[in-house]
Amino acid sequence: MARRRKLIVPGAEQGVTDFKAEVMRREGYSVNPARPDDVKYEVAEELGVPLTPRNNGKLTTEEAGLVGGNIGGPMVREMIRLAQEKLSKRE
């Protein structure tokens, strides 16, 4: 079953996608600007996780978490860094 998560702010999808692409580029991955979400396949291959564009029902929760964590973790760290930087400029 595919998840369709929606962002609360209308129209923010492109900004989040661009942010993800930039963070993953900095992490050393090649990101196709036309398909930035495809970086997950490169991450999965590097980790030895058999992620495919279809039929991933046999992936374990651990395997899926490895891929998602290697993408989401750097994104969260960068968001925290940006927020701290912004807060430090307000003082």
pLDDT tens track, the chain, 91 positions? 456 677 889 889 889 889 999 999 999 999 988 888 899 999 999 999 999 988 888 999 999 999 999 999 999 999 999 999 999 987 6
So what's the pLDDT on residue 4?
A: 67
Q: What pLDDT is attached to residue 57?
A: 87
Torsion region of 55: left, alpha or beta (phi above 0 gives left; psi -120 to 50 gives alpha): left
Closest C-alpha among 10, 5, 63, 9 to residue 37:
5
In this structure, are residues 53 and 26 in contact, taking their beta carbons and an 8 Å threshold? no
Q: What local confidence, expressed as pLDDT, does residue 29 receive?
A: 92
Question: d(Cα 88, Cα 81) in Å, to the nearest integer?
Answer: 11
Give the model's pLDDT for residue 65.
94
> Which of 86, 87, 75 has its CA nearest to residue 19?
75
| pLDDT of res. 27 | 93
Query: 3-class SS at 37?
Result: helix
How far apart are the C-alpha atoms of 70 and 68, rounded to whole Å? 5
